[in-house]
Amino acid sequence: MNAILLYFLLLKATLVSFSGLASLPIIHNDLVVQRQLLTERELNTAVGVARMGPGPLGLYLVCVGYYVAGIPGAIAGCLAMITPAFLVIPLSRYLGRRADQPAVQRIIHSVILAAAGLLIASTIPLARDAVNNLQSAGLALVSFLILAFTKTDTAWVIVGSATFGLLSFAAFHLL
Amino acid sequence: MSRPGLGQLTSIFLRAGNTTFGGGDPMIAAMQRELLHSRKWITDQQFALGYSLARLTPGTNVLAFSAAAGWFVRGILGAVAAVFSVSLPSAMLALWLLIAYQHAQSNPWVQAAAAAILAAVVGMMAASAWLLVQPRLQSSGLARCLLLAAAAATLHFQAHMSPLLILLIAAVAGSMWKEPARQ
């Protein structure tokens, strides 16, 4: 796919999402379900790989871009990730302190809550692909509990699960 | 106090953005320390304004915060320098990790590690959804949170409604549906 078109597709997702992985349901719908440019597994891998290093959650867009269109795609993904950030300048010029108004906050809260629901809905097909036995179900559950209820860094969960995968592979095949 | 140079600004954002793990909030905390407490480049009011506007700006909060902080310190060039220094090095690392993974993915050891990571990512996404809901339980009320999230999930998963349309409906619903009065 053309990197410029990809940029606008990804930008559409980042422009209507307000936090973390909230853009993922739109990416999932556009690239996996509608256009089939990306598989469930690739989207899942993009999120996992991006979390192995430092940086914002939105970095997975770089990996999504690379899967769809190579290096130009990765650049498109990176630009789609950062473009909306500059909207803060006109916002602070014209909205300023009025950003704290209850009506504005209420709209943002509702959009974020709906995005959380959408995120759960798009986790289901990814889970069907990645969770296929007792071990992976346990890993998914433990990862959820650690990240939802403790302050542990995501990178540790990624490193920990990789170590667990390697150890259980070694135990199964070498013993 | 003299205005800090673009180079100084870049080096602060390079450090805060690319050595802090764990996504947005820890990164913003690191920038708050560097920009406000250690150097006093921005004021308390500017920090608070940047922080609340960043939540309102689409996309990644920490990038919008960086744009705002860079803009307060050095204008538009400051905003561009801040956003690129926060995002580019970690973006290049993520890309490098993905390419390295693709080269190694036929190795059974790599496959075993990757399968475990993919399972953990499923848990991570569910946790991310929970972390979107959890801070709003207090201000929006449990019923409102559950209803909005469940309605969005059902409309998308069962009725295959487009996510964009669902977010728009949520925005309209939010503008009309008053939140419960705070005690």
Task: Give the minimum alpha-carbon distance from B16 to chain A in angstroms, rounded to a whole number.
Answer: 9
Per-residue pLDDT for B80 more than 50?
yes
Give contacts of A32 with chain B, Cβ < 8 Å: none
If pLDDT is split at 50, 70 and 90, which confidence band does A161 have?
A: very high
pLDDT category, A30, cuts 50, 70, 90? very high
Q: Do A56 and B115 touch (CB under 8 A)?
A: no
**Closest Cβ opposite residue A49 in set B19, B53, B94:** B94
CA distance B16 to B11: 9
Q: Is A167 on the interface with B (CB under 8 A)?
A: no
- Evaluate if residue B183 carries a pLDDT over 70: no
Total residue length of chain B: 183
A14-53 residues touching B, CB cutoff 8 A? 14-26, 29, 41, 44-53
Nearest Cα of chain B lies from the Cα of A83 at a distance, in angstroms, of 8
CB contact under 8 A, A59 and B94: yes
- In this prediction, residue A99 has a pLDDT band, given cuts at 50, 70 and 90, of low
- Give the pLDDT confidence score for residue B101 in this predicted structure: 93
Q: Is A86 on the interface with B (CB under 8 A)?
A: yes
Token pair for B112: 């075993």
- The string of pLDDT tens digits covering residues A47-81 is 999 888 788 888 999 999 999 999 999 999 999 99
Question: Which pLDDT tens digit goes with each residue over B48-73?
Answer: 788 878 878 888 888 999 999 999 99
* ipTM given for this complex: 0.84
**Residue B156 to residue A25, Cβ atoms within 8 A:** yes
Q: Give domain limits for chain A.
A: 3-130
- Mean pLDDT computed over A10-25: 87
A81 touches chain B (CB under 8 A): yes
Q: Which residue among A29, A60, A106 sits closest to B175, beta carbon to beta carbon?
A: A106
**What pLDDT is stored for residue B181 in this prediction?**
52
Residue A93 · residue B153 · CB < 8 Å? no
Residue of A nearest to B136 (CA): A109
The answer on pLDDT for B182 being more than 60 is no
**Which of A41, A49, A62, A81 best probes binding to B when mutated, by most B CB atoms within 10 angstroms?**
A49
3-state secondary structure chain A: CCHHHHHHHHHHHHHCCCCHHHHHHHHHHHHHHHCCCCCHHHHHHHHHHHCCCCCCHHHHHHHHHHHHHHHHHHHHHHHHHHHHHHHHHHHHHHCHHHHHCHHHHHHHHHHHHHHHHHHHHHHHHHHHHHCCCHHHHHHHHHHHHHHHHCCCCHHHHHHHHHHHHHHHHHHHHHC
| Average pLDDT for B104-125 | 90
pTM, full prediction: 0.83
